[in-house]
Amino acid sequence: MLSRRGRGLAPEEEMFRDASRIAQIAGASGADPRRRAVLEEALSCFDQAAVIRLCDAALVPLLETPLSRVAIEARCALSARDTQRLRLVAHALRNTASPKDALARASGGTLMVAASVIDTAKHAFEPVMERAP
């Protein structure tokens, strides 16, 4: 997903495009509970895509600063959807940024939100193991 950023669309524009895709999926899903589950999973994927795009947009300006190594680490964690690493990088951003560096502090907060969204999706759609009688 991060590699497709070269298309020239802002994260918000990409989210708008995703919203139209969601409407198409919802229109095709009907009232069938199985289709509803597929729709919920699709919505979760779009939520993750949105937060990853927003994080990437927040990290790009940091690539040209002394915090570039931390920004690169954050982008790698986003690509891997590694929430533990995202939280560690978010803390590193907040700890290494100067108190006046609002961009770095905001990026750290955005990474924390991303970790929560990704974790929620992971736990919502984990396979449920049935217990043997």
- pLDDT tens string 1-54: 454 544 677 777 777 777 777 777 666 656 677 777 777 887 888 888 889 988
Token pair for 62: 């940091």
What residues have CB less than 8 Å from 57, skipping those under 6 apart? Answer: 10, 11
Other CB atoms within a 10 A radius of the CB of residue 104 amount to 25
Alpha-carbon distance of 96 to 57, in angstroms, equals 20
**Per-residue pLDDT tens digits for 55-104:** 999 999 999 988 899 999 999 999 999 999 999 999 988 888 777 788 88
CA angle at residue 109 from 91 to 70, to 5 degrees?
Answer: 45
Q: Is 87 helix (H, G, I), strand (E, B) or coil?
A: helix
